[in-house]
Amino acid sequence: MYYDFREDKLDLVLKKHKGLRRLLSPKLKTMPCPYDGITFYTDRSITPEFFSIVKPAMFSTRLSDAVRRYRYILKHRLFTVLWMPQNVDHSQTIIRLNPHKNKYTPAQVLDLISFIVGDYSDVYVGRFDEKVDLPDCTVEDVVKRLHVPYKRKKPLDYKNKNETFYFGSRKRQQVKVYNKGKQQGQSKKLVRIERTKWYEKTKRHMVADFFLNSRHDIMKGLVLVDTEKIDNRTSIKKLLKTSKTFYEAYKLLDDKRKKELKRHPAFIQPLIDIQQLVRNELRAWLVLSPRLFFKVHIDRIKPVFDAWAAGTWRFDKTIEVSPILKRNPQSRHGYLATSGWGVSCPNFIKKGGVNFDKTMLII
């Protein structure tokens, strides 16, 4: 027996709940966000409160075990939740959100995850889609110049319409280039480059680390090569005349010429700096939650204060609050600088007696 949820009934249920209605109602008409979708994994189960809210929209269906990996599947335009796996090796709960489409701030993402599974401290990012929009460009112009590393096959023209191209397999790091203007029903030129990134189970980042750490791998390796800077007498320029895309011509070069080309001004000074555009959008998104750094710390020590308020405070146990930015220490002040606090803020707090990187709590 498997259980699905009816979206029409879910709308009625979610609108009646004050907490979710406030959390899910967008306050901004437009929101900068480089993430077009994030998938979170955790071994926590959903909270009884969340289950009681969505249960009225639940109905049962019978499908084979080969078709369904999870017993409960809740698909809604605002979020997707899967829980109770059929395989013990799978995560207990999977949550999928689209911060860009649904206009979630970083703090709202954390609050929503906490509402669904109770806490985000042991929730991990397993997959995400990062994107950048290029106005006044056509798909053909972008695909002609785009360099995508680590892909063996030439880009796939979906349905041969010259509107959507795929680089690589979706099971790995796939890059997608498509006409976003047409998808939105707009007449203006707008091309989206979207990269799907997967993390292996042992390399997944905690959601707080993922938001607070500096992202050095954003759109890694993607270069919109300025082919006009390449001399017509070079081998790559001759190959470009017979190849449809730069990607195909680049694959025909030997290793020596590939290395030389990567040091060429056409590579070093690309037509559009894709990575910088995405970093700018990421900074603008993080600024929407200026107190995120302190929110994460407070949320991590909140159980201690709850225990004290409930009268369960004890003196025979020591808890070490794990550092927030343990995976990338060299960039631990990156979020503070982005939020306008300045990199000296943590050092000042440490002098006051509180070390946010390693705090020992006696309870």
Long-range residue pairs from 109-112, CB within 8 A, at least 24 positions apart, any chain: 109/38, 109/207, 109/211, 110/207, 110/208, 110/211, 110/292, 110/295, 110/296, 110/299, 111/23, 112/23, 112/24, 112/79
CB atoms within 10 A of CB 159: 8
In DSSP terms, 61 is beta-bridged to 2
CA–CA distance, 70 with 76 (Å, rounded to integer): 16
Residues (pLDDT < 50) of the chain are 315-363
CA–CA distance, 129 with 220 (Å, rounded to integer): 13
pLDDT of residue 278: 93
Who contacts 287 (Cβ-Cβ below 8 Å, separation ≥6)? 338, 339, 340
Residue 115: HSE in the Cβ half-sphere, 13 Å Cα cutoff: 21
Instruction: Name the residue with tokens 């289950």.
Output: 51
- Closest C-alpha to 84, from 72, 94, 76, 96: 72
- 8 Å CB contact between 92 and 84: yes
pLDDT of residue 314: 57
CA–CA distance, 226 with 142 (Å, rounded to integer): 11
pTM equals 0.81
pLDDT of residue 57: 92
pLDDT of residue 326: 42
The sign one gets for the Cα dihedral 231, 232, 237, 238 is negative
